[in-house]
Amino acid sequence: MTSSAELHKRRGSAVARGVGSVISSYVDTASGGTLTDVEGRQWIDFAAGIAVTNVGNSAPKVVEAVRAQVERFTHTCFMVAPYESYVAVCEQLNELTPGGFEKRSALFNSGAEAVENAVKIARHATGRPAVVVFDHAYHGRTNLTMALTAKNMPYKHRFGPFAGEIYRVPMSYPLRDGGLDGATAAARAIELVEKQVGAENVAALLIEPIQGEGGFVVPAAGFLPALREWATAAGVVFIADEIQTGFCRTGDWFACQHEGVEPDLITLAKGIAGGLPLAAVTGRAELMDAVHVGGLGGTYGGNPIACAAALASIDTMHELDLAGAARRIEAVLGARLRAIAERDPAIAEVRGRGAMLAVEIVQPGTLTPDPAATAAVSAACHAAGLLTLTCGTYGNVLRFLPPLVIADDELSRAMEILDAAFG
Ligand SMILES: *Cc1c(COP(=O)(O)O)cnc(C)c1O
């Protein structure tokens, strides 16, 4: 088999440099919580393809459903000749997402496309232009979603000009905002919106209930409910971007459920279909159905193979109780991370929910971010066969996103590697 080094060389002269990779080993096969590279080396997967393979890689039911669908038909375009699985996925999403009200869904290809469409729907339904987003937010790499995303490097640098009518306000970030309580942090954000934008101009407030790329920032309790309450009173569409937090990742089907928040619209992707590209907007029927026929869609959105994979993934999440699995991962991995933090003063905080956990790394005794130390720990994990990712505005957050089906022995081995990597 071609070696990783050879593949890397070919890549250099074939693949655009702007597309990076965390590791330079090339994958041969993957299953459950382990990736095997072309040299036969095994990696414990603490990335899950960025919170995508929640049901594991090559999950048996997903493989079977995809195989069966690919033999029946691969594509007709739902906008041309519709099929049942698209409808069935929408029914499932309407049922699973928080909110007891009447809902509708529409399917797309990527998370960014779902966010774009949620903004389209909110603007169309309200007739208002402005969209409120938060510091540290990440919503994608298309023009509108770059504008919605906070961090310049690497996502936005020299890619402007960006879409207008986007307004950014402070997030609740307890470690870095002096521990403001949720209600106070929400009042601070709302006051800025009211003074600088005017509530009556705001179509939507868009927020990740736990920030992903921005650093696994968990807002203080009460922050999301206070924003939800304000949005209702102001006639603003509350959009929860659950693209990274969704599908059992945080120990419940969706992260909003931990605080009883019911979004008007919710954007979904990543964990939805066991690795096949699929995304969705799900929300209040009166908002979703406000758009004229033909106003939403796309050639591939809700592709039948991706829909088959989504139905099989959702089935697997129910059958294996993967929300429960995420809570068990939290108990075991969270305890281990707190034990490491006890002895290592570089860890300012252990945070997250379920199987979406992270440590924020600083210069000991300060809050000064230490991205170099973070990269060094991550590299030590890679050298020992544990695939970890970093994130955060300051690049100083080491995050852990194991597949929810990770085996106990894989998890134990991963924690030993982590423990050693911190020294
Ligand atoms: C990954 C992500 C997106 C973008 O999804 P893509 O499928 O990469 O376009 C949007 N929002 C959040 C919260 C994400 O984590």
Q: What is the 3 state secondary structure string of the chain? A: CCCHHHHHHHHHHHCCCCCCCCCCCCEEEEEECEEEECCCCEEEECCHHHHCCCCCECCHHHHHHHHHHHHHCCCCCCCCCCCHHHHHHHHHHHHHCCCCCCEEEEEECCHHHHHHHHHHHHHHHHCCCEEEEECCCCCCCCHHHHHHCCCCCCCCCCCCCCCCCEEEECCCCCCCCCCCCHHHHHHHHHHHHHHHCCHHHEEEEEECCCCCCCCCCCCCCCHHHHHHHHHHHHCCEEEEECCCCCCCCCCCCCHHHHHCCCCCEEEECHHHHCCCCCEEEEEEHHHHCCCCCCCCCCCCCCCHHHHHHHHHHHHHHHHCCHHHHHHHHHHHHHHHHHHHHHHCCCEEEEEEECCEEEEEEECCCCCCECHHHHHHHHHHHHHCCEECEEECCCCCEEEECCCCCCCHHHHHHHHHHHHHHHC
Indicate the residue among 273, 305, 320 that finishes a domain: 320
Indicate the residue among 293, 320, 347 that finishes a domain: 320
Mean pLDDT calculated for residue range 118-123: 99
Question: Which residue of 117, 133, 136, 138 sits with most ligand 1 atoms within 8 Å of its CB, as the best mutation to test the pocket?
Answer: 138
Domain assignment of residue 373, given as a range = 4-58+321-421
Indicate the residue among 286, 320, 354 that finishes a domain: 320
Dist. CA 146 → ligand 1 center (Å): 11
Q: Are 194 and 338 found together in one domain?
A: no
Which atom of ligand 1 lies nearest, measured to the CA of 211? 13
Give yes or no for a contact between 357 and 212, defined as CB atoms under 8 angstroms apart: no
Q: Are 161 and 178 found together in one domain?
A: yes
pLDDT in tens, 93-103: 999 999 999 99
Whole-number Å distance between alpha carbons of 414 and 46: 8
CATH number for 366? 3.90.1150.10
For atom 6 of ligand 1, the residue with the nearest CA is: 111
Q: Are 193 and 268 found together in one domain?
A: yes
The predicted structure's pLDDT at residue 422: 96
Q: Are 279 and 249 found together in one domain?
A: yes
pLDDT in tens, 318-362: 999 999 999 999 999 999 999 999 999 999 999 999 999 999 999
Dist. CA 244 → ligand 1 center (Å): 7
pLDDT in tens, 353-403: 999 999 999 999 999 999 999 999 999 999 999 999 999 999 999 999 999
The predicted structure's pLDDT at residue 45: 98
Which atom of ligand 1 lies nearest, measured to the CA of 279? 7
Q: Are 102 and 208 found together in one domain?
A: yes
Residue 32 reports pLDDT greater than 80: yes
Question: Which residue of 108, 207, 243, 266 sits with most ligand 1 atoms within 8 Å of its CB, as the best mutation to test the pocket?
Answer: 243
Dist. CA 140 → ligand 1 center (Å): 5
The predicted structure's pLDDT at residue 423: 86
Dist. CA 70 → ligand 1 center (Å): 26
Q: Are 42 and 175 found together in one domain?
A: no
Q: Are 159 and 227 found together in one domain?
A: yes
Residue 176 reports pLDDT greater than 90: yes
CATH number for 309? 3.40.640.10
Q: Are 187 and 300 found together in one domain?
A: yes
Q: Are 8 and 30 found together in one domain?
A: yes
Residue 254 reports pLDDT greater than 90: yes
Dist. CA 366 → ligand 1 center (Å): 31
- Whether the bond between 304 and the residue before it is cis, its omega within 30 degrees of 0, is no
* % of residues, the chain, pLDDT over 90: 100
Which atom of ligand 1 lies nearest, measured to the CA of 142? 9
Task: Provide the pLDDT confidence category of residue 305 given band limits of 50, 70 and 90.
Answer: very high
Average pLDDT of the chain to the nearest whole number: 98
Residue 70 reports pLDDT greater than 90: yes
Phi, psi of 135 (to 5 degrees): -55, 145
Q: Are 196 and 306 found together in one domain?
A: yes
Q: Are 276 and 328 found together in one domain?
A: no
- Counting the structural domains of the chain, the total is 2
For atom 8 of ligand 1, the residue with the nearest CA is: 111
* % of residues, the chain, pLDDT over 70: 100
Indicate the residue type of 272.
I
Dist. CA 73 → ligand 1 center (Å): 28
Dist. CA 69 → ligand 1 center (Å): 26
- What does the block give as tokens for 369? 């971010």
The predicted structure's pLDDT at residue 341: 98
Q: Are 264 and 129 found together in one domain?
A: yes
The predicted structure's pLDDT at residue 1: 76
Which atom of ligand 1 lies nearest, measured to the CA of 115? 10
Dist. CA 155 → ligand 1 center (Å): 12
The predicted structure's pLDDT at residue 281: 99
Residues with CB under 6 A from ligand 1: 110-112, 115, 138-140, 208, 212-213, 241, 243-244, 269-270
